[in-house]
Amino acid sequence: MKEIKQALVKAGDDVRATGPMAPSITNFVTIDFVANAQIAVGGSAAMVYMPDEGEVMAEIANCIYINVGTLMPSHGDTMAAAAKRAYEKSAYVLDPVAIGVGELRTKLLSDMKEYPPKIVRGNASEIISLAKMWGLIDSDKGSVRGVDSTDTVESAKASAEALAKFTGGAVCVSGKEDIVTDGERTVRSFGGSEYFARITGSGCSLGGVCAVYASVTDPFTAALAATNAYNVAGKIAEREAKGTASFKVAFLDALSNLAGEDIANCEMEVL
């Protein structure tokens, strides 16, 4: 745990020091939240939708963020091209939101098995569904209803570990408590707030922040740094919130004030 904490401090501080740009191809609902969360932790944002721009971004950045929400027809080319290029030249974080809905999303996510992400970020149902889609578990469990999970984080542990082993990266499962795994080490991170489920975009923006940290460190440390940052800032924000919208404001405020030390001091346990 000591090494993990040191890596977390360094990741948090390196992002503040270097301001890495983590470009995104993401949904229209929470795009502003993703960008503001990325900037709040010290990174920089750039959202693109044209096929050639996705490829350029995957070359010039260390890590990009792909979120398959609110697909439009042209997203098919853009996301596939960017994921492929990122797989070859850099890395990408995948948020398989709404997995199971629609032909285009199913094709995109299935194809990504050939050029997998370095980090997968999802709720329990999404993680289980992706592990099933890629044939990594043969469980019949896991169901998705829009962005809402119908499974517990605990029930997705095996799927998360299988996915991480397959990709050689990390997986983070978001829920009441969160787990982050690289297939060998699995850590549970505590904190956060029940308000996370009562605003839109806490999951998406966490994925975008994973990409920011993954620009300066390994996938496991990056996924844990992002998860811890959310848990610490969420806990702070809940104290000040008078409802869902003031929670979101207080959360982004807290995120914008976090140092590497704060991220490392989040309550964690190794599973």
Interaction site with a copy of itself (CB under 8 A): 21, 23, 27-33, 35-36, 39-40, 44-50, 52-53, 56, 69-74, 98, 101-105, 145-148, 198-201, 241-246, 248-257
- Within 10 A of 199 (CB to CB), how many other CB atoms are there? 16
Q: Which is nearer to a copy of itself, 6 or 244 (CB)?
A: 244
**Least distance (Å) between residue 102 CB and a copy of itself:** 4
174 labelled binding-site residue: yes
- Return the DSSP state at 260: H
**Least distance (Å) between residue 98 CB and a copy of itself:** 7
143 labelled binding-site residue: no
Q: Hey, is 14 helix, strand or coil?
A: helix
145 labelled binding-site residue: no
Beta strand extents in the chain (DSSP E only):
24-25, 64-67, 92-95, 119-123, 144-145, 148-149, 170-174, 178-181, 186-189, 268-270
146 labelled binding-site residue: no
**Least distance (Å) between residue 33 CB and a copy of itself:** 7
**Least distance (Å) between residue 23 CB and a copy of itself:** 7
Question: Which one, of 109, 110, 51, lies nearest residue 85 by Cα?
Answer: 51
Q: Which is nearer to a copy of itself, 36 or 167 (CB)?
A: 36
Question: Which one, of 61, 177, 64, lies nearest residue 119 by Cα?
Answer: 64
- Return the DSSP state at 68: -
State the binding site for ATP.
121, 174
